[in-house]
Structure 1
Amino acid sequence: MTPTRPRIVLVGAGWAGFILSQELSDTQYDITIIAPHQTFAYTPLLASAATGLFFSRLAEEPIRRAHRKTTYYRAYATAADFSQQTVTCIPSILQADGSDVPDAEHPFTVEYDKLIIAPGCVNQTFNTPGADEHCFFLKTVPDAEAIKAKLLSILEIASLPTTSRERAQELLHIAVVGGGPTGVELSAELADLFDEISKTYPHLAGLPSITIHDVAPEILGAFHDKLKTHALQSFSKHGVEVKTSSHIEKIDSDGALYNLYTKEDGKKLCGMVAWATGNKQCDFVDSLRGVSKASRLGRLLTDQRLRVLKEDKTALLNVYALGDAADIFDKGLPTTAEVAVQKAEYLVKALNSPDKESAPFVYKQRRMVAYLGGTDGVIMGQQDWTGEAAWLAWRSGSLGWTRSWRRKAMIIASWGWNFIGGREIARR
């Protein structure tokens, strides 16, 4: 009789989950992937995709692969029974507009021998009134497409003969909430876009504006002070206003315009509010009981071999957690793609070589990069860089995140065409 392969159930297909889904041995294991979207998004590329630097499809990879012997369910995991070794799920139904609708009427259960929890986090708006309804986010390719479509819409509305210059200026004001790397890079890409489209929309020249709002006293909080200062100076040159210690009170809509209310400045009209800050745990992680969780963000706590810890801090048998949903006990690692990737590569090696005792996981801090627009950027590592050298490193880093040589070539080609003919935000 042919021996049965151990069943691995993988919840999530973000940075950690996608690497595991593609690199775990499908000859050793029967692998089932549960994720609500059928593609994995290269999150560092989304700001570029949202502003037309290349087609959005280049910022994602399909989970299903012809050469991979895996099972994929487009679904949400809703609960796990560790004693019965089962995961309860509900289908995620793709709608014609690209959105997803959970189908709670048709739950199903998947059994596992090993469970890997890597669902990532969801957007945290801190219960800001109107944020969920009116803000644009940047976690998925559909998010990037929505921003791109909104930008095109406000450009065209601002171009109508019935639109006054004052209203056009309000429409072309973009508010970005969040001064971390995502908010900073989105602002930089928007500044580049508005600079380039002055040739296509010469009648709108000088009207677009961008403001970054952050509740913290500074942007790029994880970077060295010298790099933060350089970022502020660079944004000032590019016309990007930075408002730190800015408290968003609520957001509402007035037809084509949005009203952004801050404690410090009151109401400000804008054509789009992009929310690029804050993470919270998904409902699945919140539902798990009998396990240790961090007081901050509610992340699952694991040992250094990425095994989920019970409340008494002993390891839960055959249950692992990584990505933004998990942290190693007493380590406090950041919720970044770099941490997720390193953990995934560690667990792939450990599970693909089960007869070898794996050493404890050790995170290796790599350089941190942020793009500032034009040909400027900042890099924090063993040596800090700014300017064009940092920009080139950011460009090469964008390619480095892409694990497909075909996509690398297509992105390089897109950069070349954009350099020659400019961005085409209207092309889908």
Structure 2
Amino acid sequence: MQASSPRMQLGQLPTGLLDALASRSLPSRPIASRLSRGIPSQRRDITVNQLDTSSDQRERVVILGSGWAGYTVARQLNPKKYQAVVVSPRSYFAFTPLLASTSVGTLEFRTALEPVRSRRSNVNYFQGWADVVDFKNKKVTVEESADNSTQGFALSGSRAETQPEVRKAEQAKKGKTFDLAWDKLIITVGCYSQTFGTPGVKEHALFLKDVGDARKIRNRILLCFETAALSTTTDAMRKNLLNFAIVGGGPTGIEFSAELHDIIKEDLARIYPELMEFYKITVYDVAEKVLPMFDEDLGKYAMKVFAREGIAIKTSHHVESLRKGPPGDSNTAKDVQDEYPCWTLRVREEGDIGVGMVVWSTGLMINPFAKKALGKIPSIPESGVKYLTPGSELSRGSLQWAVSKEPKTGAVITDDRLRVLLGPDGDHESKQRAIMEDVFALGDCAKIENTTYPATAQVASQKAEWLAKRLNKGDFDKGGFTWKNMGVMAYIGNWNAIMQGGGGGSVSGRAAWVLWRGAYLTKSVSWRNKVLIPIYWFLNWAFGRDISRF
């Protein structure tokens, strides 16, 4: 049987109407003409040559990364003045405050995503990693990455940002590369999770940095309960499988612990009532207290709520390793260990502990791209460099310049206009300094000189909004960026939250929970998600979370 034609599949619509619809669906102007007029065009076969043709004398702004900083600045640049091009292995922006909710089914994954490409967007996009930055010729080498099967570890726009073991596996299938010229470069490549070199963590722990991570956590929770419910599973193994460990007592770790408690108490307890005596949730932190960014009273309130709900918080505890298999002989052969569905977490203060899942949330490690591609500068640009110290310009040819880095973290140092600072490479005695006026760095991978702003989404988005406004108006001389503290908040379970305002006021309990949900709803970018989020909140409250594994 022959396949039905598209016209037959549309049903009994009149032929004239179908022809009219077909004619309206086809672009009436070439793609280059549509781009030059600022009309969104999301053709996936856009080439660099087509971008050049459609620039219409606009400056090209290449943005490395699609996180809080990169996505925000790309959306807010004036499309009549700038041609914004985002380079990232991730074709979407992840609204990270909602990841804990998506990991347990309180919200669906779609509600935490905003696509870089959309019909209403004026942003061009290449899916790939930035490998090399040529500051002199104003070009960046991009490696194509349309196959995103391993991008769960990727945070933004550089190949170096994936976890080391993933990068090593990908070397054999490295994609094609191409050069992309820029007039202005904005570096927002972010960070990835800090593991402190703890053995087994990269291989066996779960993180919560992206939607792919949330999906893995959700499947793991359900797998643990399904396996524990089998008649062949012993009680000892059930205790291991249903022992959930969260390493890190910051907002992410605390919120995930609270969300995990909610799905167990509100949904899984009704489906697996016989397993409730076995489950346990424990938060481990090396510090003396959790939630250090909150006032002491709010921290104590959170711990009191956790204690009442049965969530254990163990501070001043040091995780030493994580390996496959139950507690016992650590020398068990790997093929035997793999038969067991649990892991062993070794804590210095407690010894070996059987766990079904470890969620690691202990802070950030700077993106290796900052070291790999943002280091020595073989040849300093002829223009676009402002020298800050006497004699700097005379040292152009004789001095080896490098991007300035924060010694402790490796973050790129910028001035208060978010422009990248240059200095002598290594231990050179010279004190010469300069600014690259067309290269900006913001987000978690960058730090303004002589500031201690936290590495949060709030700071990254404020920097992005400030930079986009300054670029649109061209008034960088009106003063530098200053962070406005809008406060911090955290969900602590059972419809309770804590919130500390930027001015010092605080709210806790049910009122803070209402403010917490309201803030995240209003901060969602698209109207699509502003509608979807409350719908899913209501559906899951009324009918329970979906516990299907998919």
Looking at structure 2, the residues matched to 144 and 91 of structure 1 have their Cα atoms a distance apart, in angstroms, of: 25
* d(CA) in 1 for partners of 2:449, 2:310: 43
Alignment map for 1:19-168 (pairs within 5 Å): 19-95=72-148, 99=152, 101=170, 103-168=173-238
Match of 2:347? 262
Instruction: Please report how far the alpha carbon of residue 38 of structure 1 lies from its aligned counterpart in structure 2 after TM superposition.
Output: 0.8
Q: Whole-Å Cα distance in 2 between the matches of residues 273 and 117 of structure 1?
A: 32
For this pair of structures, how many residues does the alignment match? 428
Whether the aligned pair in 1 keeps the contact of 2:63 and 2:185 (CA below 8 Å) is yes
The corresponding residue for 2:414 is 302
Shift of 1:283: 2.1
CA shift for structure 1 position 89: 2.2
Alpha-carbon spacing, 1:424–1:97, altered in 2? closer, same or farther (3 Å)? farther
Does residue 345 in structure 1 map to residue 465 in structure 2? yes
Give yes or no for contact 1:306–1:321 (8 Å, CA) kept in 2. Answer: yes
Cα shift at 1:3: 5.1
Identity of aligned pairs, percent?
A: 38
How far apart, in 1, do the equivalents of 2:419 and 2:74 lie?
18
What is the alpha-carbon distance in structure 1 between the residues aligned to residue 529 and residue 341 of structure 2? Answer: 36
1:80-106 deviation line (CA, Å, top 9, x unaligned): 121121112222343558757575352
Cα displacement string for residues 294-314 of structure 1 (whole angstroms, at most 9, x for unaligned residues): 123211111111111112443
Residue 396 of structure 1, aligned match among 509, 513, 518: 518
Corresponding residue for residue 245 of structure 1: 316
Q: Give how far 1:69 is off.
A: 3.3
Match of 2:300 in 1: 229
TM-score (norm 2): 0.75
- Classify the secondary structure of the residue corresponding to 1:370: strand
Matched AA of 1:367 = G
Q: Displacement of 1:423 after TM fit?
A: 1.2
The structure whose residues are more often strand, as a share, is: 1
CA distance in 2 between partners of 1:325 and 1:356 (Å): 22
* Secondary structure class of the residue paired with 2:287: coil
- The reply to whether residue 200 of structure 1 matches residue 322 of structure 2 is no
Deviates more, 1:34-43 or 1:313-322: 313-322
In 2, distance between residues paired with 1:296 and 1:97? 30
What secondary structure is seen at the aligned counterpart in 1 of 2:413? strand
The question of whether the paired residues in 2 share the 8 Å contact of 1:78 and 1:283 is answered with: no
Shift of 1:317: 2.2
- Deviating beyond 4 angstroms after TM superposition, the runs of 4 or more aligned structure 1 residues are 95-103
Rounded Cα–Cα distance in structure 2 between residues aligned with 1:343 and 1:209 = 40
Which of 242, 259, 279 matches 2:364? 279
Q: Name the larger-Rg structure.
A: 2
1:26–1:68 contact (8 Å) kept in structure 2: no
In 1, Cα distance between equivalents of 2:343 and 2:441: 39
- Map Cα deviations across residues 163-203 of structure 1 (whole Å, 9 max, x no partner): 12332121011100110000000001001111012112222
Determine if contact 1:279/1:297 at 8 Å carries over to the other structure. no
Task: Write the distance in 2 (CA, Å) between the matches of 1:356 and 1:319.
Answer: 14
Determine which structure has greater relative contact order: mean sequence separation of CA pairs < 8 Å that are 6+ residues apart, divided by chain length.
1
What stretches of structure 2 of length at least 5 have no aligned partner? 1-52, 155-169, 326-339, 376-401, 424-431
Paired residue for 2:18? Answer: none
Q: Secondary structure of the equivalent of 1:310? A: strand
| Greater alpha carbon shift after TM alignment, 63-72 vs 100-109 | 100-109
**What is the RMSD computed on CA atoms of the aligned residues?**
1.8
Long gaps (5+) in structure 1: none
- Quote the Cα distance in structure 2 between the aligned partners of 1:172 and 1:188: 16
Q: Which residue of 2 aligns with 1:387?
A: 509
CA distance in 2 between counterparts of 1:325 and 1:232 reads 32
* Contact 1:292/1:313, CA 8 A, preserved across alignment: no
SS in 1 for 2:271: coil
Tell me if 1:410 matches 2:532.
yes
The answer as to 2:480 corresponding to 1:325 is no
Q: Per-residue displacement from partner, 1:213-263 (whole Å, max 9, x unpaired)? A: 111111111111111111111110111111111111110111210110011
